[in-house]
Amino acid sequence: MPDHYVEQEMCPIALASHLLGDKWIPIIIRDIALFDRRTFNDLLKNNLEKISSGSLTSRLQRLVHLEMLEVTSDDTHSQKRIYSLTESGIGFVPVVFKMASWTAEFRNPSPVVVAMSQPYIDGDADAIDFFLKTIRDIHIHKTTVPEPLWWKS
């Protein structure tokens, strides 16, 4: 089904499902936003869910196509690419937090990770606003270099 048809004819939930209905997309957004894994190798080697290189390649291409990520060259290596969240990608981060909130309430995810991200899972508006502002500074404005787990409470 062509994307132009999807954009014009589907309800918003069906459209989101069509565009993003893939287990890897929220995980890739998580890894980029929360863990600052912004190169292909960093995403591939540090992904706890063990995404394959082919799956990662296709999902990164999809996210760039959807304008949720932008890719730039790294000045230190001619073949290295840096993935950054766009406004659209940043706008998806609260959806990822809502997914985490749902599973924390109704399923049994890792208690260590739940504890680490509790303010975001609980929907703490101030914590989420700070997170999104900082993500914009890192990815859009490029005025902040994140420390590991800077967002952890």
> What are 2-37's pLDDT values in tens digits?
666 657 777 888 888 878 888 999 999 999 999 999
Domain count, the chain: 1
> What are 92-142's pLDDT values in tens digits?
999 999 999 999 999 989 898 888 889 999 999 999 999 999 999 999 999
Q: Does residue 145 fall inside a structural domain?
A: no
Q: Does residue 105 fall inside a structural domain?
A: yes
Question: Measured between alpha carbons, how far apart are the two ends of the chain, in Å?
Answer: 43
Residue 134: both structure tokens together:
């900082």
Question: What's the pLDDT score for residue 150?
Answer: 85
Where does the pLDDT of residue 55 fall: very low under 50, low under 70, confident under 90, or very high at 90 and above?
A: very high
Among 88, 57, 84, smallest CA distance to 72 is for 84
Q: Which domain holds residue 37?
A: 3-139
What pTM does this model have? 0.89
CA distance 38 to 84: 7
